[in-house]
């Protein structure tokens, strides 16, 4: 356990005692990552804004029952994931996000053609974005949120073996997309 983790837990203890300054500190520390996680989950920054606020209000409500069995960041991501899925289910039929629509590549260009205009880094970023949700989420949680296999399993409520399988296929798809774009990486 590193010092930052201990501080997070100490802050949650303070929140449990009704310390609003502590919840604001946790908000400042984790807000951007939770916001981005939800935005990637939902494809909507508007939903991300609402849900992220709700995540930290939930932190305020649930802090007394936090048992410290997981890292605070993992706990928050789990709350965010649950709230994002709940809201997505509720708004599935009528939610249209302009930002997400704007990110869909122009159909006049095939992925290969688009990629030819970019360097490898930009191509990778595009390919990560284009992964199926369940694969991209695992990639995001590992690469951006620094979560372990076990922690990702906790956040997504799936077995460790499933986390590995999703990571395997996510990386396989990235390799195939790169290969199709002329960047052969030698695997798969």
Contact residues for other proteins (CB under 8 A)?
Answer: 18, 20, 23-24, 27-28, 31-33, 35-36, 39-40, 45, 48-49, 52-53, 56-57, 60-61, 120-121, 124-125, 127-129, 139-140, 142-144, 146-149, 151, 161-162, 164-165, 167-168, 171, 174-175, 185-188
Q: Which long-range contacts (CB under 8 A, 24 or more apart) does 162-167 make?
A: 163/138, 166/134, 166/135, 166/138, 167/135, 167/138, 167/139, 167/142
What tokens were used for 108? 């006049």
Q: Which long-range contacts (CB under 8 A, 24 or more apart) does 74-78 make?
A: 74/147, 74/151, 74/154, 74/155, 76/30, 76/34, 77/34, 77/37, 77/141, 77/145, 77/147, 77/155, 78/154, 78/155, 78/157
Closest CB 72 distance from other proteins, rounded Å: 16
Closest CB 84 distance from other proteins, rounded Å: 14
Burial label for 121, CB within 10 Å (0-12, 13-18, 19+), is exposed
Q: Residue 111 and residue 1: Cα distance in Å, rounded?
A: 43
Closest CB 57 distance from other proteins, rounded Å: 6
Residues in the chain: 188
Q: Which is nearer to other proteins, 85 or 175 (CB)?
A: 175
Q: Which is nearer to other proteins, 108 or 121 (CB)?
A: 121
Q: Which is nearer to other proteins, 105 or 188 (CB)?
A: 188
Closest CB 55 distance from other proteins, rounded Å: 10
Closest CB 164 distance from other proteins, rounded Å: 5
Do 42 and 51 touch, CB atoms closer than 8 A?
Answer: yes
Closest CB 10 distance from other proteins, rounded Å: 18
Q: Which is nearer to other proteins, 116 or 122 (CB)?
A: 122
Q: Which is nearer to other proteins, 52 or 76 (CB)?
A: 52
Q: Which is nearer to other proteins, 94 or 160 (CB)?
A: 160
């Amino acid at each position: 356990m590193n010092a930052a983790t201990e501080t997070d837990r100490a802050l949650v203890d303070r929140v449990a005692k009704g310390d609003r300054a502590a919840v604001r500190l946790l908000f400042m520390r984790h807000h951007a990552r939770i916001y981005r996680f939800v935005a990637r989950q939902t494809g909507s920054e508007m939903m991300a804004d609402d849900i992220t606020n709700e995540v930290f209000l939930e932190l305020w409500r649930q802090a007394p029952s936090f048992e410290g069995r997981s890292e605070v960041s993992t706990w928050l991501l789990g709350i965010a994931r649950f709230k994002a899925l709940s809201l997505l289910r509720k708004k599935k039929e009528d939610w249209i996000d302009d930002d997400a629509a704007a990110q869909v590549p122009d159909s006049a260009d095939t992925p290969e053609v688009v990629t030819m205009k970019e360097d490898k880094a930009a191509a990778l970023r595009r390919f990560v974005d284009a992964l199926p949700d369940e694969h991209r989420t695992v990639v995001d949680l590992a690469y951006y949120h620094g979560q372990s296999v076990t922690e990702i399993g906790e956040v997504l409520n799936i077995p460790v073996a499933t986390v590995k399988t999703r990571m395997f296929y996510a990386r396989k798809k990235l390799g195939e997309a790169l290969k199709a774009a002329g960047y052969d990486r030698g695997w798969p």
